[in-house]
A = this chain, B = another copy of it.
Amino acid sequence: MKSCGVIVEYNPFHNGHKYHIEQARKKSQADVIVAVMSGNFLQRGEPAVIDKWLRAKEALSNGADLVIELPFAYAVQSADYFTRGGVKILQELKVDSLCFGTDSSKSVDYESFGRFHNENIDRINQKYREIKNNGSNYPQLMTQVYRELYPEWQLDFSSPNHILGMGYAKENAKYDQPMSLYSIQRVGNNYHDTKVSHKKFASATSIREKILSDQLENLEDLVPIKTCQDLELNPLASWENAWPYLKYQLTIQTVEELRNCYQMVEGLEYRLKEAALSSENFNEFIQKVKSKRYTWTRIQRLCTYVLLQVKQEDIEQVWENTCIRVLGFTDEGRNFLKNKKKEIACPMVTNINKKNESYLSLDIRAGLLYTMISKSDDHQDYYRAPIYLKEE
């Protein structure tokens, strides 16, 4: 039973994601597609427009066989940790290959890159430390490191999916039995594009823009029918819904308390507190806080940590005790899990109970907050069993 993994967010699931799964199956010749998906909060540090259960079902309805939740402690992170978590879970599940989209303008041999990077990690880290205080952000710094040390790779770290691809490659190369890597070129417009420019494919960013500005018409050209229905029938979450809670927390907590928050460094607590007091909405707030050094995404992630009162130890606890949280499966996915069960070393969670809740306390907290900001009544963790999408 051959398996191929995809590491995804599906915010929301669109035609490009469906194409990705089809290509993954084709390239890898896999019988089973395993999707490791962010939960209710995403890599960019924002709530998903619709919850993880709806998104998991969209994926299962469109080619995925098994959906596993990427824990908050890996998902709401920079590319390095996001990719580490995704690869770790696929490795725990003994998945054979990994397929990802890339937006690199050049063809890259990711497997070779991963090995090369790990072999030269000391020199790369040293160079990185030398230049890290020059005011650039992480992608800029890594581009500079490679340009100076290994110009032959002609690497750039500016395209988000390419960065993730390199992250997967680096993480994957650390394992004794690395997965085969398949990269596919993205079709349609780029990740950052907010305008829809292709008839059938559009970035999730541009689709979210459409949704949140209430332009739901023509959406059926860009997303599968299931996604369309979900978006029409469910309350949508956004940072603006969460803003009152963030403003409240930044107002009430002292700078000393804020400093205990994960990733609150370099006096950012003062900057955030001051901006919160003088801002009327989230957009205004972020505009005041972001800079070249502190990107929009980094600030959003930090705000998510504040909102959820995430501490360093909450994150480390998950890193040390990662578990496999099953969100849903098809018959194929179910068989896959059954077959692999004995080989999987880390805990597997299908239903949350007193015994396993401690593994998932951060995700549970995120789910409770998510229901508050999405104004949905649906339970996110307790009382939920995995989705079982039977073949008709």
Contact = CB atoms under 8 A, between A and B. Distances in A.
Interface of A: 244-245, 247-249, 251-254, 257, 277, 307-309, 361, 365, 368-369, 372
B309 A257 contact: yes
A238 to B, nearest CB: 16
Contact of A365 (B252, B308, B365, B372): B252
A251 B372 contact: yes
Contacts of A254: 309, 361
5 contacts: A248-B248, A252-B307, A252-B308, A252-B369, A257-B309
A372 B253 CA distance: 14
Nearest to A371: B251
Given A248-B372, A249-B249, A252-B309, 4 more contacts: A244-B245, A245-B248, A248-B248, A251-B369
Given A252-B308, A309-B253, A309-B257, A247 B277 contact: no
Q: How many copies does the complex hold?
A: 2
A376 to B, nearest CB: 14
Contacts of A257: 309
A248 B369 contact: yes
A248 B372 CA distance: 8
A112 B129 CA distance: 75
Contacts of A253: 309
A247 B373 CA distance: 12
A105 to B, nearest CB: 43
Contacts of A361: 254
Among the interface residues A244, A252, A254, A372, which one has the most CB atoms of the partner chain B within 10 A? Answer: A252
